[in-house]
Structure 1
Amino acid sequence: MAKRLIPSLNRVLVEKILPPSKTSVGILVPETSKKLNSGKVIAVGPGARDREGNTIPVPFKEGETVLLPEFGGTQVKLGEKEFLLYRDEDILGTLHE
């Protein structure tokens, strides 16, 4: 049975998107050109609480592609896959096509 992690409070579970090392025609892409640090949202917590006890919802949804900071996040391994756990305020934004 596969484990599923439901983040607590305002945390977001992200699977990092690895940029391709080759183009579709087989040209190798140098490491220095792989600048975009992005990931796919796998799960989100219910949100943090304000001083009055009201829930502040997490602004990200499962399946969205997000821009991640260069450093940070907590590594989590579930089965054979590795994920990163961030607080919602640490994620820089969403990426749209």
Structure 2
Amino acid sequence: MTLRPLHDRVIVKRLDQETTTKSGIILTDAAAEKPDQGEIKAVGDGKILDDGKVRPMAVKVGDRVLFGKYSGQAVKIDGEELLVMREEDLFAVVETK
């Protein structure tokens, strides 16, 4: 099954959080925080503005993004946990040099 987000929504897959601290301490799943980074898996067409025009999305499939720890609605598709959220819930796109 695939999801096609509507309007200004995106589908995000959380990236795995590191389970070892810089000092070498291994964290259990209960102690580890929810990751706040993810990869965009699908994007909608864009936000419909008051004048009826559609503002295109600023993110694209494959972008690595930052978002709030409790952002989005979690859904499980084919055993994979994904988040559905509005583009405005994203904080930034992570760009590597």
State the TM-score, normalized to the length of structure 2: 0.82
- 1:76: which partner in 2? 75
Residue 19 of structure 1: how far off its partner (Å):
1.8
- 1:54: which partner in 2? 53
- 2:11: which partner in 1? 13
* Percentage of matched positions with identical amino acids: 29
Secondary structure, in 3 states, of the residue corresponding to 2:51?
coil
Q: Which moved more, 1:48-57 or 1:38-47?
A: 48-57
Unaligned runs of 5+ in 1: none
Contact 2:34 2:69 in 1 (8 A): no
Unaligned runs of 5+ in 2: none
Count of residue pairs the alignment pairs up: 91
2:57 is aligned with what amino acid? V
Partners of 1:74 and 1:49 lie apart in 2 by 21
**Two-structure CA RMSD over aligned residues (Å):** 2.0
Q: Which runs of 4+ in 1 moved over 3 A?
A: 27-32
Secondary structure, in 3 states, of the residue corresponding to 1:92?
strand
- 2:95: which partner in 1? 96
